[in-house]
Chains A and B, each alone.
Chain A
Amino acid sequence: MGGARPLHPGRWLGVPALFCVLATIAFAAPIRIYGLQLPEPVFAMVPAFAWALIRPSILAPFALLLLGLFLDMFWGGPTGLWGLSLLVAYATALTGRNMMTGQSRPMMWAWFGGVTAVAMAAGFLFSMLDSLAMPSLLAVFWQFLVTALLFPFAHRLIDRFEDADVRFR
């Protein structure tokens, strides 16, 4: 193999997933300053988008499933809701991967916003089916907005690992 060492899954899957878990726990702190609460972005959307762009992988969907299950357990939502929504987002990004690679940063941000919107729409639909009630569109939009602002982290993750594995250059 020589110098062509394959990228270890722990580095590009494990570490970002761990950061997502920690960030989610940190943002769930019941802090309220001057009546304002912390926002609640879906940090797992960052790897859902970035992992699809870095390279197709067998492990990534299962890592996302685990992340989604953690979100459901930690947030107290229906089990499988975020797992499924994140996988829908991952599938969307994987499908449009050829169109996205090599695009400018603002364009990639727009793509990230689009993939996030797909995930939120999926979450909205699955919640409706599960609870037989319609979630507040304003609340969904607010979470979409704060999640879309996480693109710089996704960009950094893609930059860091896009060329890390010589077999995928």
Chain B
Amino acid sequence: MPFREGPLGDLKVPLTWTAAVALIVAIVIAVAFLLADRRETLQQQAYGVTRQTVDTVSKPVSGVIAAPGRWTGLGVDFISSYFFTASENRRLKAELKEMRGYRDQYLAEVDKNQSYRTLLGLRTDPPIPMVAARVVSDTRGPFANTRLADAGAEKGVVVGNPVMNERGLVGRVVGVAHGASRVLLLTDIASRTPVMIDRTNARAILTGDGGPNPKLEYLRGVDPIKEGDRVVTSGDGGVVPRGLPVGAAVKGLDGRWRVVLFADDSAIDYVRILLFKDFSQLADQKALLTRSLPPVTTEDPDVSILGPAATAKPQAQTGAATPSAAPAKPAAPTTSTPPPPAAKPATTPAPKPAAPKPTAGQPTGGGI
């Protein structure tokens, strides 16, 4: 039986008031959702099952909707390349001529770099495994800048993985579902990335604000940056590996230093998700475990390791004009030998000073 034909069918309630009550209830629910949201923590727990489900459903739907756009883009590219072949050929020839010079320089630098590495015994980071993915949806609003990529947990993607395109860093993964992952862009208001200025090594935090050019905050040092400086990731905090290209520094209209992102130079159709978790991943865990450590020996208080001749030496050198080659050690007591303790304590050697103690008349620094 329909409600209107029932005994309560003639019940009249003021619609405006009931609508107002419904509005207030809905607002309370929305406020509760907003207060319970933990998106800004960017943790796996904050990315709930509902969001994962929405991403899983959105991926095929957005993929189908994006396909005609992608085909149109490819078509436009094809037509453009057909009509502008001659001019493009001229441009490419000029670019190739320039690049030949760079190639020779590059090969020379690689050779020099290899020599330096050998000399220094430098250990470089091993390559980080990565997963290629296609972007199926793209959010560009002021309050959220994210993208949905079509690779998820099944390919080993986890929350926190950095995401790049062929030009530079795009963002990092903040949510993973089966077959899809949500990428928080560097431009999102919740994005904070530790970066450094390549030229000066000055550190800063790249802070998104919903606009196309994120801000550089907490810049330190005297004159640490100038227009056009290359900005790369610093690796501080272990969120992203060090040295990933980010962008070029520019002075914004508001007087703040901002970054023109390299990743924006090309369409972010395809991205690479670096399967990077933290720096412990870069170390060879097996080698670390099997490493033989030096034996732990404690000094016998009865027998000084310096010996009688060694104990006399620092005293003889005290006040000498020429410094000793070895770091000065604390002088052993020479007045009397302390009585042996009843039980041998497990002592650790006294801390040694890092540098020789400067003597009078001796220059202490490298200054003029």
Contacts and interface: CB of A to CB of B under 8 A. Distances in A.
Interface of A: 1, 25-26, 28-33, 37-38, 40, 42, 55-62, 64-65, 68-70, 72-84, 87-88, 90-91, 94, 123-124, 126-127, 130-136, 138-140, 142-143
A140 B29 CA distance: 25
25 contacts: A25-B58, A28-B62, A29-B137, A30-B136, A30-B268, A30-B269, A32-B267, A33-B72, A33-B76, A37-B140, A55-B15, A61-B19, A64-B26, A74-B137, A75-B139, A75-B143, A76-B146, A77-B141, A87-B30, A127-B189, A130-B39, A131-B189, A133-B190, A136-B211, A143-B141
Contacts of B66: 29-31
Given A1-B4, A56-B19, A61-B26, A80 B139 contact: no
Contacts, number: 188
Contact of B139 (A58, A76, A87, A136): A76
B305 interface: no
B54 A61 contact: no
6 smallest CB-CB distances across A and B, nearest first, come from A80-B33, A136-B211, A76-B146, A77-B144, A80-B34, A139-B142
Contacts of A136: 142, 209-211
A75 B268 CA distance: 17
Contact of A130 (B22, B34, B212): B34
B194 interface: no
Nearest to A83: B30
Contacts of A126: 34
B187 to A, nearest CB: 9
A38 B97 CA distance: 37
Nearest to B32: A80
Given A127-B189, A139-B142, A30 B72 contact: no
Contact residues of B: prevailing secondary structure: helix
B135 interface: yes
Nearest to B69: A31
Contact of B23 (A28, A42, A91, A133): A91
Contact of B50 (A73, A88, A130): A73
A30 B19 contact: no
Given A25-B58, A74-B54, A84 B135 contact: no
Contacts of A26: 65
Interface string B121-161: 00000000000000111111111101110000000000000
Contact of B37 (A38, A75, A80): A80
Interface of B: 4, 15-16, 18-20, 22-23, 25-27, 29-37, 39-40, 50-51, 54, 58, 61-62, 65-66, 69-70, 72-73, 76, 135-144, 146-148, 174-175, 182, 184, 189-190, 207, 209-212, 267-269
A55 to B, nearest CB: 8
Contacts of A31: 66, 69-70, 72-73
Given A28-B62, A28-B138, A133-B207, A77 B30 contact: no
Contact of B39 (A58, A60, A65, A77): A77
A159 B266 CA distance: 44
A21 to B, nearest CB: 10
Given A28-B139, A60-B19, A139 B37 contact: no
Contacts of A40: 139-141
A81 B211 CA distance: 18
Contact of B40 (A28, A75, A131): A131
Nearest to B25: A61
A135 to B, nearest CB: 4
A30 B22 CA distance: 37
Nearest to B17: A56
B346 to A, nearest CB: 50
A59 B22 CA distance: 8
Nearest to B144: A77
Given A79-B37, A83-B29, A94-B23, 20 more contacts: A29-B66, A57-B19, A58-B19, A62-B22, A62-B26, A73-B54, A78-B34, A78-B37, A78-B40, A79-B34, A80-B31, A80-B32, A81-B34, A82-B143, A83-B33, A130-B34, A133-B209, A136-B210, A139-B209, A139-B210
Given A25-B65, A25-B137, A136-B142, A58 B22 contact: yes
Nearest to B209: A136
Nearest to B214: A136
